[in-house]
C-alpha cells in the first residue's frame, strides 16, 4: 500500500481528559486549566476517553466555532489513536485521488457525498469499468487483543448504510464498505456482534449480497495519520 496521510496541526497540545458532558463536548485539563473541547465523534470510546486519559488537542480558530479546542488523539497505553471520525473520509478521499488503494484504483471520477435513493454514500467512483462503485467509509477506534471492532455502540445509521449498499449492488453497481482502523494495533477486523448484533447481521447480509467488505489500518503520530496496511476481515 502506498503511503498516504493527513497532516495534523503543528500546535497540538497534550492534555488530561476529565469528563464527557455529552456526545460532542468534553472537558480537559490543559496546563492546569479546565477547558471545554469538541469530541469529533459520536462513538462511545469509553476505553479511550475516561477521566485521567492522556489526549492531544488542537486550537479551533475558525469563525463560528463554539469550543476553543478539539480533541484529535487519545493515548491507549503507549499507542496513539485518532478519535476524529471525520478524518477517515478526508484520508480515503486523498488516497483515492493519489491511487493509494489498490483495490479501489482505476476510477477517474470521484464524487463525495453521492446520493443514492433517499440517502447518500461517502463516495461514488466512476470512469472505470462497469457502472461505477458506491463506497461507504467507517471509522474504527476500538481494538481488543489485535481485533478491530465496529461499532463501539449500537449504530442504526451504520446498519442502514449496509442495507443501502446491498440495494446498490442489486441494481448492478459495485458496492464497498471500507473500515478505517485509526490505530496501529488492529491486525484483524470484525463486526462488534456483542455491542450491536443488528449491525453484525446487516454486514453478513450485505456481504452475502455481494457488497465488498474491506479494512485498512493507520499509522498514527502527533504529526500525521497515514494509511499503513490492509487489515484482514473476519466475517
- Domains: count for the chain: 2
Where in the sequence is the domain holding 139, given as residue range(s)?
A: 87-233
Query: Do 111 and 194 sit in the same domain of this protein?
Result: yes
Residues of the chain with pLDDT > 70, as a percent, come to 99
190-225 per-position pLDDT tens digit:
999 999 999 999 999 999 999 999 999 999 999 999
pLDDT of 61 reads: 76
95 pLDDT exceeds 90?
A: yes
Model confidence pLDDT, tens digit, residues 140-188: 999 999 999 999 999 999 999 999 999 999 999 999 999 999 999 999 9
Q: Residues 203, 154: one domain? A: yes
Same-domain pairing of 70 and 180: no
Cα 1 to Cα 63: distance, rounded to the nearest angstrom = 37
Task: Specify the CATH number for the domain of residue 54.
Answer: 2.40.50.580
> Do 166 and 144 sit in the same domain of this protein?
yes
Which 8-state DSSP code applies to residue 222? S
Note the pLDDT tens digit of each residue in 28-74: 999 999 999 999 998 999 999 999 999 999 998 776 678 999 999 99
Three-state helix/strand/coil letters over 101-141: CHHHCCCCEEEEEEEECCEEEEEEEECCCCCCEEEEEEEEC
Q: What is the DSSP string of 43-66?
A: S--TTTSSTT-EEEEEE--STT-S
Separation of alpha carbons 20 and 210, rounded Å: 39
Residue 48 burial by CB count (10 A; 0-12/13-18/19+): exposed, middle or buried?
buried
Task: Write the pLDDT tens digit of every residue in 110-122.
Answer: 999 999 988 899 9
pLDDT score at 201: 98
**72 and 91 assigned to the same domain:** no
What's the pLDDT score for residue 1?
Answer: 73
Amino acid at each position: 500500500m502506498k503511503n498516504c496521510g493527513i497532516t495534523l496541526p503543528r500546535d497540538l497540545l497534550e492534555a488530561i481528559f476529565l469528563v464527557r458532558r455529552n456526545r460532542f463536548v468534553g472537558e480537559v485539563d490543559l496546563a492546569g486549566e479546565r477547558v471545554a473541547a469538541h469530541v469529533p465523534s459520536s462513538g462511545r470510546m469509553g476505553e479511550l476517553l475516561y477521566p485521567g486519559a492522556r489526549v492531544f488537542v488542537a486550537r479551533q480558530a475558525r469563525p463560528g466555532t463554539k469550543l476553543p479546542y478539539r480533541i484529535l488523539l487519545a493515548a491507549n497505553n503507549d499507542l496513539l489513536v485518532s478519535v476524529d471520525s471525520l478524518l477517515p473520509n478526508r484520508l480515503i478521499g486523498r488516497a483515492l485521488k493519489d491511487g493509494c488503494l489498490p483495490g479501489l484504483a482505476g476510477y477517474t471520477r470521484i464524487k463525495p457525498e453521492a446520493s443514492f435513493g433517499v440517502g447518500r454514500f461517502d463516495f461514488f467512483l466512476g470512469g472505470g469499468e462497469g457502472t461505477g462503485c458506491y463506497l461507504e467509509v467507517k471509522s474504527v477506534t476500538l481494538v481488543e487483543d489485535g481485533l478491530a471492532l465496529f461499532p463501539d455502540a449500537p449504530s442504526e445509521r451504520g446498519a442502514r448504510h449496509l442495507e443501502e449498499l446491498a440495494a446498490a449492488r442489486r441494481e448492478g453497481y459495485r458496492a464497498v464498505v471500507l473500515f478505517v482502523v485509526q490505530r496501529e494495533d488492529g491486525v484483524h477486523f470484525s463486526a462488534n456482534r456483542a455491542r450491536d448484533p443488528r449491525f453484525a447481521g446487516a454486514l453478513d447480509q450485505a456481504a452475502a449480497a455481494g457488497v465488498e467488505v474491506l479494512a485498512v489500518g493507520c499509522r498514527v503520530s502527533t504529526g500525521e495519520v497515514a494509511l499503513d496496511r490492509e487489515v484482514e476481515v473476519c466475517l
